[in-house]
Structure 1
């Protein structure tokens, strides 16, 4: 298994902890990237569909999940979920680093589509960039329109017939400490993407190749694993109310 970045590991650890209290069912994931959240959901007994705009991402997902694809527990779709017309309701809509790629109209369309897609007891989990003061080169090359705060996320969902039942700032303080290095590595490896359109930047943001930022030598797995990262997981939970957290976890349910 590939060695994951520290921020990705911390997000997955928090998500796993939250999902332990949720009975598995059917999910839809939008913007699955390399499939780390899909893998977590499948390991917990969920089944579902993942949508991505980039064909190479879908190919990579099919290579990663051949057994789950063959037995129908997982379907990777190359397409725009906002235009999907599936009749079967899902129990979970999940997206990680997706909503910030949408303009204001697209953002509204996303939360409306999620509302239509959920079963009566379903929920949505959205993970987005936090802390506007940390806007940087990575936001530019990935095609972001905004970063979020707990207040701006609540205003978005409260105004669209949702109830926010949980928010948490994640990856603090490790992401903040690594922020200058991250900006340097991204600028060195990906600055050329600034010439692309916002749509093309979004398509290329799912699976990235930035040495020592998204990809690490296997030896780093001795440090970048759940056991070794557990103290940092406890630390991110202790500071989950920090406005400086660079990742925001938002859990919502349709308003009754």
Structure 2
């Protein structure tokens, strides 16, 4: 991995000297680390990504950009991919090492002078919405990817689902299939797959997050996050898991959804 020559290794983590502030709450990785292993949301996203990455990815390095605590990287590493987690938050990097991620880089993607075509695959999983200049971010990914390199993205969907949750998380926007397709086209990518995920959560989010946020009634807390991610289980969580199991089967069978609280896309560098 040629890019490592620019970085300094300390405690098993590679550091870049030029990492700047990101639009993500400082405590975000710590909170997510407490939720991820017990959350139906993170589990379902990983299941869908595992299938899509196995189907569409190239051989070679897979850079998990903005990979946080390494929850996706751990799945990819377990599945035999050569993973490099690139994460600007040191807390996330330390947690990723605890998870056993072999290659952890504490940096933003743009802090590294990538050799042209050094990466065969890039994933940005719930990252792009945190980037104000999302077009510039995808241009940076495009330059680092090899010809016909693959890009995998998940983002929150539908701007009308905007809530205090988005504000507190440091989001700039939510996306639709059309807006993401236009962004990819502008930045030199060809869309090869898109779909909405978490259809069963679409209207509950509008009712329980969006409307209360508009009325000034929505308050977020670690306890609320734990409850919404179903870390304690319960009848409602069992029902949601049943719906998500069906959704995963439908994704694998090729079904496309017109609604959902998340959008997943796969694109190829052109």
TM-score (norm 1): 0.76
> Is residue 80 of structure 1 aligned with residue 108 of structure 2?
yes
Give the Cα–Cα distance (whole angstroms) in 2 for the partners of residues 55 and 165 of structure 1: 34
Partner of 1:216 in structure 2?
Answer: 231
Which of residues 224, 244, 256 is equivalent to 1:240?
256
Give the Cα–Cα distance (whole angstroms) in 2 for the partners of residues 3 and 49 of structure 1: 21
Alignment of 1:1-256 (within 5 A): 3-21=37-55, 22=57, 24-65=59-100, 68-69=101-102, 75-87=103-115, 89-103=118-132, 106-177=133-204, 180-181=207-208, 187-189=219-221, 210-214=225-229, 216-217=231-232, 223=238, 229-234=244-249, 240-242=256-258, 244-255=259-270
For structure 1, the 5+ residue unaligned runs are 70-74, 191-207
Give the Cα–Cα distance (whole angstroms) in 2 for the partners of residues 101 and 188 of structure 1: 18
CA positional deviation for 1:2: 5.9
RMSD: 3.1
Q: Which has the higher contact order (CA 8 A, sep 6+)?
A: 1
TM-score (norm 2): 0.72
Stretch of structure 1 that moved more, 18-27 or 52-61: 18-27
Give the Cα–Cα distance (whole angstroms) in 1 for the partners of residues 182 and 82 of structure 2: 31
Give the Cα–Cα distance (whole angstroms) in 1 for the partners of residues 104 and 218 of structure 2: 28
Give the Cα–Cα distance (whole angstroms) in 2 for the partners of residues 162 and 228 of structure 1: 32
Alpha carbons 1:170, 1:240 under 8 Å: kept: no
Size of the aligned set, in residue pairs, is 227
CA positional deviation for 1:187: 2.2
1:18-58 deviation line (CA, Å, top 9, x unaligned): 12224542111111123221012111111121122211111
Give the Cα–Cα distance (whole angstroms) in 1 for the partners of residues 147 and 92 of structure 2: 31
Give the Cα–Cα distance (whole angstroms) in 2 for the partners of residues 240 and 86 of structure 1: 35
